[in-house]
Amino acid sequence: MPGKSMPILEVIRAGDLEGLLNLIVAGADLREEDEDGCFTALGEAAYHGRVEMVRLLLGAGVSPDDSAHECALGAAALGGQVETARLLIESGASLEGAGESGLTPLMNAARVGHLEAVRYLVGVGADFEQRYQESRWPPSRSALDFAVECGHVEVAMYLLERGARFEGEDYQDENGRMLKSPADLVELARRNRQRQASQADQAGVRLEDEVG
């Protein structure tokens, strides 16, 4: 509808910098959350790599640690957005901060497989040994654990190269056998990736059958 104002999150998704500025001037709620309560406006901008929008929101007084289910830096990590992550960190965002999810930005980058974001976060001092526990994951998971579980081989290899802790008693393969070396862990990540790709292919075939 012509002339109708857009909610701040829609303006951010559209990349409308002038529209965002107008909403800020008009007193819009800068902590508005998305439909799922996952990101605030700052997180949405960070996730989509809208550097100038992130800068504008920070300049308007939004905290660099603003969070909903995910913190703003965690949102940038999920989107693989190194430039918005850099801006947030330079503005004071906590490297180990987490929203309601409890996942650090590095864990987010590792679990979705954004290697460059992982490299950047580790390079600026993110703690790859920080651990997390939540009911749907095995207890006390690190960024390395998320990378292996989700089949991100290159991320797992990088974290191991940087010195991420490997203790064989912490890891078992699909058959319950204890892993003996970091190489075994990388191979498990590779099998997890193959399994997930196969599951995705099967899901695609089922969908085609249903549509057909």
Secondary structure of 67-85 in HEC code, one letter for each residue = ECCCEHHHHHHHCCCHHHH
**Section 85-107 average pLDDT:** 93
Q: Is the pLDDT of residue 46 over 90?
A: yes
Place of tokens 């290899």: 157
Domain residue spans of the chain: 1-113, 128-212
Q: Is the pLDDT of residue 63 over 80?
A: yes
Q: What is the amino acid identity at position 177?
A: R
Residue 202, pLDDT score: 67
Bridge partners for 132 per DSSP: 141
Give the span between the Cα atoms of 20 and 201, in whole angstroms: 40
Higher pLDDT: 8 or 212? It is: 8
At the topology level of CATH, where does 1-113 sit? Answer: 1.25.40
**58 — pLDDT class (breaks 50, 70, 90):** very high
Q: What does pTM read for this prediction?
A: 0.84
Residue 198, pLDDT score: 76
Residue 34, pLDDT score: 85
Higher pLDDT: 87 or 136? It is: 87
**Section 142-171 average pLDDT:** 88
Give the span between the Cα atoms of 48 and 13, in whole angstroms: 7
